[in-house]
Amino acid sequence: MTSIETGSPPCQIGTFVKTPAPQIIEILGGAGLDFAVVDAEHAPFDRLTLDMMIIAARSVGLALFVRIPDKQASTIQSALDCGATGLLVPHVDSAEQARELVARARFIGGERGYSSSPRFASYGANGMKQTIATGDQAVLMCQIESRAALADAAQIAATPGVAGLFVGRADLALSLGLTDARAPEVMEATEQILAIAQRAGKIPGVATGSVNECTEFAQMGATWFVVGSDQSMLRQGALALKK
């Protein structure tokens, strides 16, 4: 875990990956990040490419989450069967949606289809009991990014099987009729959501544009940070060459 000096619990630092290249995952893992999030919501990842990204993550011991493009059962099962550490699910607007997500991601008490052949199950090497136990450990982070989600955040956090709340400040701003992710109303809502996650004993997460912002949100209670992306890091590096 990466340490941020706030007096709070240790924080985890990751980044979005928007480029479909497994070498990027290898580099990030070698750099010592705590995790990465493949952004299948906003970037071109098909199942085969996602499979290769997860293979790369396992080769370097990097926890890899997938921000899925939709909430369909087949989408959830595909990412988890490939062996993703967990899912970052965008636009979870109600506790009812959260319950549906948990059901689609869980074997016990849920509706996830069982197979012992995928990577998460060690290609059939594990027995059914171990496979189910492994599958049901997948981490589900619910992205709170609308007025409706803000209003139902406490109920979403209280949903069994939800591991944490992740604040999507840009879409939250748009939902509030704003165009600034740092507008006072957005920052106040962010602090409220992080506090709700803390009280529920769930992971409080947030996206930031830079490491410099992490301390500010850590002071609000955040412990799980997705900082920029592979694209933003590449752009910043390229711009630095011109200075």
On whether residue 180 sits in a domain, the answer given is yes
On whether residue 139 sits in a domain, the answer given is yes
Task: Tally Cβ neighbours within 10 Å of residue 2.
Answer: 15
Give the tens place of pLDDT for each residue, 26-71: 999 999 999 999 999 999 999 999 999 999 999 999 999 999 999 9
On whether residue 5 sits in a domain, the answer given is no
Domain enclosing residue 35, as ranges: 12-241
Catalytic, out of 42, 182, 199, 235 = 42
On whether residue 76 sits in a domain, the answer given is yes
On whether residue 29 sits in a domain, the answer given is yes
> Using a CB cutoff of 8 Å and minimum separation of 24, what contacts does 106-114 make?
106/135, 106/136, 106/161, 107/132, 107/135, 107/136, 108/132, 108/136, 111/73, 112/73, 112/76, 112/77, 112/80, 113/73, 113/77
Give the tens place of pLDDT for each residue, 71-89: 999 999 999 999 999 999 9
Segment 201-212 mean pLDDT: 96
On whether residue 6 sits in a domain, the answer given is no
On whether residue 7 sits in a domain, the answer given is no
On whether residue 4 sits in a domain, the answer given is no
Number of domains present in the structure of the chain? 1
pLDDT of residue 10: 82
Active site residue 91: no
Segment 134-158 mean pLDDT: 98
Q: 69: domain CATH number?
A: 3.20.20.60
pTM for the whole structure: 0.95
